[in-house]
Structure 1
Amino acid sequence: MSDNTDTPLREEMTIDKLKEIIRMSEAYIDGTLKISIAADGRAMQLSAMTAAASTALLVFGLTSLFSWDPPSITLSFACFISAAFFFMAHLSALSAAKPRAVAVPGTTLGNWGKEEREGDLRLALWGQAEHYDELANENLAILAQNAKRIKRALALLAAAPVAGATGAVAAYTNSSGMWSF
């Protein structure tokens, strides 16, 4: 979990200290799992909300374009632009909640090789402590990557109304003859 160069040598660690390190490592890994589960829940809620918003905006934009007399190109364009941003936010939130391998605390006998099973307990515990350190770092990397995805989704979510309003202004000024292409 850290690159501390002052880490004691495995020969200097007592069995009791190693057991405590392993206990704390298991608690730490368990904590990262709880954070991950909560983050997945938030990502799924955000995904559901952005999917609903994008669908509603798309349907409303199509309705205003094809069912209104006269059609509202300005409103439709604003809806389509906003729906696109909500949909991109939806995809980003989904990518944060996708299934992935995460490290869990604990071990099984099958994970212990002959050397660990029959050798020095202190060395076996040291190896377990090192393994937990790697697992904790893997979980932290997953959490960091998923946090970036959620931040991207939130940024797109915040930009959706601005993009829609900008699209509406552009469509309105174009349809009123202010711009000619």
Structure 2
Amino acid sequence: MSYSTDPRAARSREAMVVAARELLVAEGPGAVTHQRVAQQAGVGRATVYRHWPQPEQLLLEVMSDADLPLFKNPEAPVRRWLHRELRQMADELAVPAIAAMSLALMQSAIWDPDIAHRRDESLKTITERISVAVRSAAETGEVETDAAPADLTAMLVGPIVYRTTSQMGVVSDDLIDRLIDGVGTWHT
């Protein structure tokens, strides 16, 4: 009997997904390990490995079911809102386990088309949200910019990801302000 038709396997899989989601919400991505998920779900670690051989596969499945919390519901003034959202992102990526998992997911996306697709969907969501916020600020006269949506994401998010994951450094509020200033001319 295959996993997809075996009711016991389906129940175990659902229990593991629920456990992983609870760990993600309660403790962040670093808590979503094979061992922790097995303990939380009441299954053997081998069962978790059988469904998700790589830890990033499990984390990605759980994260893809969850709504991406960053850059939602922009508020005026957009510049202040952008600063808060970028600060939150930087603080989350400053946690070594989250930085490591982010890098592992990026690396896995090179070889795994499913992970690459999920990564692309997340990037698309972030790009759309940032674009809507900046476009709104432009319409109200808060900012003058001609940056393309993908460029906005690269200009704002890219340096934060680089600083936290590659340099393992701290993102200062000053750096966040300089990134936002680079988007265009802001009027307060």
- For the aligned pair, the TM-score class normalised by the smaller chain equals under 0.3
- Considering Cα pairs closer than 8 Å and 6+ residues apart, tell me whether 1 or 2 has the greater RCO: 1
Instruction: Please give the TM-score of this superposition, normalised by the length of structure 1.
Output: 0.25
Instruction: Please give the TM-score of this superposition, normalised by the length of structure 2.
Output: 0.24
The structure carrying a bigger helix percent of its residues is 1
